[in-house]
Amino acid sequence: MAGDTLNTVEARYRALFETMGPAVLLMRGPACIDCNPATLGLFGVARREDFIGKSVMDFAPEVQPSGERSADLVHRNVVEALERGSKTFEWQSIRTNGERFLMEVQFTPCGPPEEGLFLCIAVDITRRRHDEEALKRSEERFRAIVENSSDGVLVVDTATREIRYANPRSHELLGHPQLPGRSIDELGVGARGVLEALQPDALHPAHGTELALRRYDGEPLDVRMRAAHVELEGRRSVVVLFTDLTVQRRHEAERLRAMKLEAVGRLAGGIAHDFNNLLQAVLGQVSLARLSDDPGERRELLDEAVQALGLSSRLANQLLTFARGGTPVTQRVALGPLVESAARLAVSGTNISIEVSFAPDLWAVEVDTGQFSQVVHSLVARAVEAMPQGGLLRVSATNRPTPDGNRVAVAIADDGPALPVALRARVFEPYATTQGSGLGLATAWSIVTRHQGTLELLEGAARGNTFMVTLPAFPDVRPEPAAVSKSTRPGRILLMDDDALVRTASGRMLRALGHHVDVAAHGDEAVARYREALEARQPYDLVILDLTVRGGNGGLDAISKLRALDPNVTAIVSSGYSDDAGMASYRAHGFAGALPKPYDFTALEAMLRAHLGAR
């Protein structure tokens, strides 16, 4: 009975031995006395009989990868197994087909010591070790990338908000001597953006989020942050990448500066070209007039010089409007007659036909009539030059209710060749095109923008170009009636200007119109003369004050003192800076009117007709 039980147990252990996954060998000394099928598969042996009696040295290289001789390694591990009861080590073997592979081997003594029996369990770890080495290389590669990244990299624990890792660039950017172990809250006000990224449901846009952080020394730091949730060592964390925007913004500023310099160079070259042409015309006509003895010819030459000077004045006004804004002096008007008049004037003398179409109930707008006439003239002049062989110009104006408010839209369309795509993007830059005035479209855009409007070149047409202007509209407001000119009578006029040439020229123009004129060089002198005239009971009928005086008091200071002397004073402000608040809002400063420089007899007489005799 006992024998049957022993046989049963032995059979059970034999079945377990035969079916075990790892290779199992029973060794007596260096020779194998038994092995399971897995051993045969591991070493590539077909039959058990071919493996029994073999030594592990029969399937090993002379030297192991560590550099130690295989025989020495076996002996050392046998000794340690006997001392410790078991020993596990790595061992390189060679299959019968010559293929080398790596095993993890465990030596365990079994049975009486005098029998020298060892149980050897071996597992092929070649693939595992290959994967581990590949993973190690990958980790080293990514660590090198992270450690040398131009971006700051932080790993933050989502639960504790503790910084678990920081690459060298993070220390450099944030100026912290030791970031790991610190709280993310120490990054300053911008850390709120980082804390939001720690939320489990946080969404992180691909382009990142711009944050204003603070360095350890208190200096502000602008960065772009990107974040991603990861799990490291069993803890939820967030990997945060910081890109320093300082260099990027410096490059952007340099690029913008280069673009501005290019635009300024093109602007300066174009202005110099245009002014030189006009100055040549003036100098040429004046030189000829000085040589001529014929009064009629001299008058004709001087008229042509005056015409060229008028064009120079217009070019200067365009430059001022573009460069400084040209703040409009507005009034509410019906836009249709203004647009049609300016458009027809611009095409007069050309072979261009004009077609006008305005909404019958066109809403009123608030514009500077002179400036907006300049807008229409510039757009039409460009269209005229785009159609040298003639063509049709279509001018229309419609009402446009929009979610942003009521607007009036004015469209000016030609049927000339469409502008090239490369030019369309910069058509409103100074001297971008030779069609029209070099400053015409740039000035038009500047004027419309300062009227809270828009000016754009519409897309989509295969031929022709359509420019559209939109302006804020006032559906329920009637346009202001045109001012009624008063009759002109001789008057006493005080002219203040800091430029002696202007005082001389304008004084002669006023005297030529039949008026008594006194002059002053600055505001204090004008106030003194006005006080003397009041005391002598010979008050001035009109005062013309220069707005800006170099090294002295100008028109704004003088008008306040004059109104204190005489609340009924009639004063006109004059300046070459049309965008100055004193010109744009002259009534708010106590002036009765504005006279932009330069002005000729016609403009001066119109001003006198409107205001002289108002006392």
Q: What is the pLDDT of residue 437?
A: 46
**pTM of the predicted structure, to 2 decimals:** 0.43
Bigger pLDDT: 560 vs 585: 560
Q: What is the CATH number of the domain that holds 86?
A: 3.30.450.20
Same domain for 245 and 170: yes
Is 479 within the bounds of a domain?
no
Last residue of a domain, one of 98, 130, 162: 130
Q: Give pLDDT tens digits for 250-308.
A: 777 777 676 666 655 665 666 666 666 666 767 777 777 787 788 888 888 787 777 76
Same domain for 438 and 343: yes
pLDDT surpasses 50 at 558: yes
Q: Which residues contact 282 (CB under 8 A, 6 or more apart)?
A: 305, 308, 309, 312
Q: What is the CATH number of the domain that holds 449?
A: 3.30.565.10
Q: What is the pLDDT of residue 500?
A: 83
Is 142 within the bounds of a domain?
no
Same domain for 159 and 123: no
Q: What is the pLDDT of residue 237?
A: 81
Bigger pLDDT: 328 vs 447: 447
Same domain for 318 and 171: yes
Q: What is the pLDDT of residue 10?
A: 66
Q: What is the pLDDT of residue 601?
A: 78
Same domain for 180 and 55: no
Which of 351-360, 471-480, 550-559 has the weakest average pLDDT?
471-480
Is 499 within the bounds of a domain?
yes
Q: Which helix (H) or strand (E) holds 106?
A: strand 100-110
Q: Which residues contact 340 (CB under 8 A, 6 or more apart)?
A: 356, 358, 395
Q: Which domain holds residue 433?
A: 331-474
Q: What is the mean pLDDT of residues 360-368?
A: 88
Is 480 within the bounds of a domain?
no
Last residue of a domain, one of 292, 307, 324: 324
Same domain for 506 and 440: no
Same domain for 461 and 501: no
Task: Quote the tokens at residue 437.
Answer: 């005035």
Q: What is the pLDDT of residue 189?
A: 46
Q: What is the pLDDT of residue 528?
A: 94
Same domain for 158 and 212: yes
Q: Give pLDDT tens digits for 539-549.
A: 999 999 988 88
- Mean pLDDT of the residues in the chain: 79
Is 141 within the bounds of a domain?
no
Q: Give pLDDT tens digits for 421-435.
A: 767 767 777 665 544
Is 430 within the bounds of a domain?
yes
pLDDT tier, 370 (very low <50, low <70, confident <90, very high otherwise): confident
Q: What is the pLDDT of residue 409?
A: 92
Which of 127-141, 302-316, 333-347, 450-464 has the weakest average pLDDT?
302-316
Same domain for 336 and 318: no
Which of 123-132, 239-248, 374-383, 483-492 has the weakest average pLDDT?
483-492
Q: What is the pLDDT of residue 270?
A: 60
Last residue of a domain, one of 474, 500, 528: 474
Same domain for 316 and 335: no
Q: How far apart are CA 601 and CA 309, in angstroms?
A: 13
Residue with tokens 């070459």: 576
Is 481 within the bounds of a domain?
no
Q: Give pLDDT tens digits for 164-209.
A: 888 888 887 777 777 887 777 766 544 555 656 555 555 455 556 7
Please state the three-class secondary structure of 186-210 as a single string: HHCCCHHHHHHHCCCCCCCCCCCEE
Bigger pLDDT: 401 vs 5: 401
Task: List phi, psi (to 5°) of 205.
Answer: -60, 150
Q: What is the CATH number of the domain that holds 536?
A: 3.40.50.2300
Domain count, the chain: 4
Same domain for 335 and 291: no
Same domain for 502 and 370: no
Is 339 within the bounds of a domain?
yes
